[in-house]
Chain A
Amino acid sequence: ELKVEQNPLFLSMQEGKNYTIYCNYSTTSDRLYWYRQDPGKSLESLFVLLSNGAVKQEGRLMASLDTKARLSTLHITAAVHDLSATYFCAVDSTRQGGSEKLVFGKGTKLTVNP
């Protein structure tokens, strides 16, 4: 059974600082997704990583995927308050006939303080 672990689960950081969120998963998969959730809101897709070595960047966020290590990272550069949210990684657990079933990590609640 696929397990997805994120760490840290809670992250409090100052504006302007850098930090990395880690996402480890237990079985082979080459599809990994990062989502953002604001309080009381739905999930917003941030990055789709579909192959080993994939790197995607959007603004102050950069995501990467190492399928051999079963590890993805979400790097935050020069954090700003607007990045405060909960970030989830999710791994595609099945490729049967294209069926899509994601297993999510517990989420990392990020708070950026002035």
Chain B
Amino acid sequence: KAGVTQTPRYLIKTRGQQVTLSCSPISGHRSVSWYQQTPGQGLQFLFEYFSETQRNKGNFPGRFSGRQFSNSRSEMNVSTLELGDSALYLCASSGRGQNTGELFFGEGSRLTVL
């Protein structure tokens, strides 16, 4: 079955702009999580959505937001971009029925802020 799909894969923005990243989970998966990966901070949890509700949120400023649609697809938005937002943003989905908490990751969206 198709894996987690993220778009766009690469993007370049300038400081002050905003960006929207999209994630389509594995078919049947209703939980979508977002992680930020940087060389300095490693992998950090941003937020998790299940059935269009945010169930958990990491320690990121309010400039980072997300949402989930009725078809489980998710978007995350970063407003007023800063240089430090340059990172690989990874989306992961999990199936509630499996009850293992195992996450399946997409290829990521690599954001460069100039």
Which stretch of A19-27, A67-75, A76-84, A92-100 is in the interface?
A92-100
A46-63 interface code vs B (CB 8 A; 1 in, 0 out):
001010000000000000
Size bracket of the A interface: 20 to 34
| Proximity bits, B90-114, A CB within 8 Å = 1, else 0 | 1010101001111111111000000
B34 to chain A, nearest CB (A): 11
Inter-chain residue pair count (beta carbon < 8 A)? 63
Contact (A92, B107) CB under 8 Å given A100-B94, A103-B45: no
Contact indicator per residue, chain A 29-56, by CB within 8 Å of chain B (1) or not (0) = 0010101000001111100101000000
A35 to B104, CA, bound (A): 10
Cα–Cα distance between A104 and B103 once the two chains are bound (Å): 12
- Say yes or no: A101 contacts B48, CB within 8 Å: yes
State whether B96 touches A42 (Cβ < 8 A): no
Which residues of chain B are within 8 angstroms of A102 by Cβ–Cβ distance?
33, 45, 101, 103
What residues make up the interface of A, taking CB atoms closer than 8 Å to B? Answer: 31, 33, 35, 41-45, 48, 50, 88, 90, 92, 94, 96-107
